[in-house]
Structure 1
Amino acid sequence: MAPEQQSHRFDSPARKSSITQRWLILILIVLIGLMSFEIISRKLRQSTSRIPLRTDLTQSERRTIELFHESSPSVVHIRTAEFALEADQFSMNLQKTPQGSGSGFIWDRNGHIVTNFHVIQKADEATVTLADNTIWKAKLVGFAPSKDLAVLKINAPRERLKPIQVGYSADLQVGQTVLAIGNPFGLDQSLTTGIISGLGREIISVTGRSIRNVIQTDASINPGNSGGPLLDSSGHLIGVNTAIYSSSHVYAGIGYAVPVDLISRFVPQLIRYGVIQIPSLNFTGVDDFVIRKLKSNRLLPQDVKGVMVQDLIPGGAADQAGIKPIGVDQAGDVVLGDLIMQLDKMPITNANDLLDALETHKVGDEVNLIVLRNNQKKKLKAELQEWKNEP
């Protein structure tokens, strides 16, 4: 019995060691399987984050998807807030309350963001959320209420900023495909598509001045889309979404966008000067209602239209061109000033027309004027100047 008992004492630890090894091998296999599963899952998640290579997509759909992925990093979400004093029995506290949100797009790698003026009009503070979901505090660089334009600036690293591709709007055609990217109702990175429904439209800015040559589109534009880009089928910026035509302020089939040719002309000025630098004739005109009253009193012909000169700024462009302001003759009777009826080839019917005509020029340009003086048309030339503040 002794030898058998001794043999049993030495064999039992060996069998236990063998079982332990099997368990270790099994655990190792399970761990390797879990690691392999995680690696495969990660690769699948990465692959599904890219554009899916579906075989049932049309060529048009594929192109739209590509355009969205190429252009959406240039579109930003703008949130605004305003400050208000709230008083209690102990103190006066400055409270920050959310005001609204809108869209915008990256203009350059210096951090300039273009949006609508009405998006930031009443804001005391604005933040910009990039496509990578990083949030940046913005400062106001310049604004042009009459064009519903504003430029903000953020101090984001250049590598995070993808400027939008700027196109042209002079050769647009009704029926062209367009895409609008923005944040309607606060929904980030939303895409709508449509066509150009009309050209040469006119809308009224917050200042009451007309914005002309506006693009009309049936691409859905809702609150929050304001300030976002309108793109053509090549992904180039052709306009800035600015308004919807609806009494309920909800999309009803008609949206408007400020044309990019106007944006390209004015944004560099807003970045450099903070305001639009419009060349001037340097005179003050009478209000349009005075012209109507003069016609009703038969002091002006009923069929003439234009801007009447009230006062001249000494040494100004109008003064040097020989334009006559309202004056008094030797008998003490009022002599009407010149009525500017045309600037180059643009007819002038009111003050807005004259400002629109001047905006197409720069300081130093020579323009041809047609004025009405003593009921006779007269041709004059004037060299445009910077606006002079002195009376």
Structure 2
Amino acid sequence: MPDNGRFLSRLIWFTLLVVALMLLWHNFPDLFNSYNSPYSDSREKVTPRVIEPRGNLADDEKSTIELFENSRDSVVFITTRQQVMDVWTRDIFSVPSGTGSGFIWDDAGHIITNLHVIKGASEAIVRLADGRDYKAILIGASPAHDIAVLKIGAGIQLPLPVPLGSSHDLKVGQKVFAIGNPFGLDWTLTTGVISALDRSLPSEEGRTIENLIQTDAAINPGNSGGPLLDSAGRLIGINTAIYSPSGASAGIGFSVPVDTLNRVVPQLISRGKYIRPALGITVDEKLNTRLTKIIGVTGVVILSVSPGSAADLAGLKGATISSDGSIMPNDIIISLENKPVDSVDKLLLRIDHYKVGETIRITLLRNGHEMDVSVILQPGI
């Protein structure tokens, strides 16, 4: 009987709870279903907030918008494919291999991009800003500068080329604008300033790319090959690389300056390769470091002079090598056009600023005395 009494008591409490819930449901519907409540008409009527007038855009905003709208059509999106072979069937097929950016160089359909964007690809597709796709052919490339020239079919109605600027007169602190396709997100604009000039960076092929522009404008994978513009919308460089442990922008991007482009690209179009200007001398970085340290001078030791070369005609002298293999330097290059030269790489960089056939002034150390010599640059190997 005590168990029956406990059960009856629980049943009564359960019944009272159900009755209480039903009364709440019918008498206070707003607690359970405010949308269907008869009291919903008494809720506050809410309308969208009034939009505050913005007023005019700031002048720098207007100029940035205008720059992007004027430049966007000159930038292209590049996708590449690579041929692979199925090891079982021996069938050959192509697979996507990468994306990058580029820009229109001239009315003939030449497209400029980075060499590493198309490296290893068997085909490249260029997409214009209006959505048209064209298969491109490779015209020429310069691994030393990470520059490649593509071309899309003749007779195509193309947007205007990017207006050309200059890079020799750039200043740290100038505003810059990068347009590209980071991570495949087409036609993206990023802004920043020139952070430094005359930077060096190892390329993917182990070469050192010299005289780069450093910028904090965000440059990410896919931006490579796109243009770097000044505040007038002129081309001042081609976005080449980023410095980042994570692979994404960390505020340090690098661009090949437009003066280099304007020197290299015409040769790539006309010859398919870039022929560097040269003196006709033999130098060696490791040996130079050891010799200059022993002598106690800063410069580049000329090891030998090619007979009949530009250096030979100018009277430059190579080192004397004794029978026991010891080297006695004769001429040591210490500057080129009044710009100091402290390594082989720096000498080659200084020479690369000029064209074959131009005359440059070299300052030498010979027998402890400085002397100036004029040399007409010859084609390099």
- TM-score (normalised: structure 2): 0.78
Deviation, structure 1 residue 311: 3.3
Q: Given residue 262 of structure 2, which amino acid in structure 1 is its aligned partner?
A: S
Residue range with higher mean Cα deviation, 132-141 or 377-386: 377-386
Q: Is 1:291 the counterpart of 2:285 in the alignment?
A: no
Residue of structure 1 equivalent to 2:378: 385
Q: Which runs of 5+ in 1 are unaligned?
A: 1-53
Q: Of residues 278, 295, 300 in structure 2, which corresponds to 1:301?
A: 295
CA contact under 8 A between 2:179 and 2:227: conserved in structure 1? yes
Deviation, structure 1 residue 76: 0.3
CA contact under 8 A between 2:109 and 2:158: conserved in structure 1? no
Residue of structure 2 equivalent to 1:48: none
Residue of structure 2 equivalent to 1:120: 118
What's the Cα RMSD here? Answer: 2.5
Residue range with higher mean Cα deviation, 267-276 or 367-376: 367-376
Distance 1:87 1:248, change over 3 A: same
Deviation, structure 1 residue 80: 1.3
Residue of structure 2 equivalent to 1:252: 250
Residue range with higher mean Cα deviation, 268-277 or 108-117: 268-277
Q: Is 1:58 the counterpart of 2:74 in the alignment?
A: no
Deviations 1:45-78 (A, max 9, x none): xxxxxxxxx8554343333222222111100011
Deviations 1:70-89 (A, max 9, x none): 1111000111122223221x
Residue of structure 1 equivalent to 2:338: 345
Distance 1:187 1:199, change over 3 A: same
Q: What is the aligned-residue identity percentage?
A: 48
Residue of structure 2 equivalent to 1:366: 359
Q: Distance in 2 between matches of 1:155 and 1:308?
A: 49
Q: Given residue 119 of structure 1, which amino acid in structure 2 is its aligned partner?
A: V
Deviation, structure 1 residue 378: 4.5
Residue range with higher mean Cα deviation, 169-178 or 267-276: 169-178
Look up the SS of the partner of 1:147 in the other structure.
coil
Look up the SS of the partner of 2:295 in the other structure.
coil
CA contact under 8 A between 1:128 and 1:136: conserved in structure 2? yes
Q: Distance in 2 between matches of 1:292 and 1:176?
A: 36
Q: Is 1:282 the counterpart of 2:280 in the alignment?
A: yes
Distance 1:220 1:210, change over 3 A: same
CA contact under 8 A between 1:146 and 1:206: conserved in structure 2? no
Residue range with higher mean Cα deviation, 242-251 or 201-210: 201-210
CA contact under 8 A between 1:148 and 1:206: conserved in structure 2? no
Look up the SS of the partner of 1:252 in the other structure.
coil
CA contact under 8 A between 2:292 and 2:299: conserved in structure 1? no
Look up the SS of the partner of 1:224 in the other structure.
coil
Number of aligned residue pairs: 328
Deviations 1:129-164 (A, max 9, x none): 111111111111111122121111111534233211
Deviation, structure 1 residue 208: 4.3
Deviations 1:25-52 (A, max 9, x none): xxxxxxxxxxxxxxxxxxxxxxxxxxxx
Q: Given residue 82 of structure 1, which amino acid in structure 2 is its aligned partner?
A: Q
Following superposition of structure 1 onto structure 2, how do residues 66-145 of structure 1 map, counting pairs within 5 Å? 66-88=66-88, 91-145=89-143
Q: Distance in 2 between matches of 1:141 and 1:115?
A: 12
Residue of structure 2 equivalent to 1:23: none
Deviation, structure 1 residue 366: 2.8
Residue of structure 2 equivalent to 1:170: 168
Look up the SS of the partner of 1:146 in the other structure.
coil
Look up the SS of the partner of 1:132 in the other structure.
coil
Look up the SS of the partner of 1:355 in the other structure.
helix
CA contact under 8 A between 1:180 and 1:221: conserved in structure 2? yes
Distance 1:292 1:67, change over 3 A: closer
Residue range with higher mean Cα deviation, 201-210 or 63-72: 201-210
Residue of structure 1 equivalent to 2:43: none
CA contact under 8 A between 1:241 and 1:256: conserved in structure 2? yes
Look up the SS of the partner of 1:222 in the other structure.
coil
Deviation, structure 1 residue 295: 5.2
Distance 1:122 1:375, change over 3 A: farther
Residue range with higher mean Cα deviation, 194-203 or 139-148: 194-203
Q: Given residue 316 of structure 2, which amino acid in structure 1 is its aligned partner?
A: I
Q: Of residues 214, 217, 240 in structure 2, which corresponds to 1:216?
A: 214
Q: Given residue 184 of structure 1, which amino acid in structure 2 is its aligned partner?
A: P
Deviation, structure 1 residue 266: 1.7
Q: Is 1:161 the counterpart of 2:151 in the alignment?
A: no
Residue of structure 1 equivalent to 2:22: none
Distance 1:73 1:313, change over 3 A: same
Deviation, structure 1 residue 216: 2.4
Deviations 1:200-220 (A, max 9, x none): 333333454444443222221
Residue of structure 2 equivalent to 1:29: none
Deviation, structure 1 residue 344: 2.6
Q: Distance in 2 between matches of 1:175 and 1:335?
A: 46
Q: Given residue 308 of structure 1, which amino acid in structure 2 is its aligned partner?
A: V
Look up the SS of the partner of 1:243 in the other structure.
strand
Q: Distance in 2 between matches of 1:292 and 1:84?
A: 45
Q: Of residues 315, 323, 346 in structure 1, which corresponds to 2:316?
A: 323
Residue range with higher mean Cα deviation, 354-363 or 126-135: 354-363
Residue of structure 2 equivalent to 1:196: 194
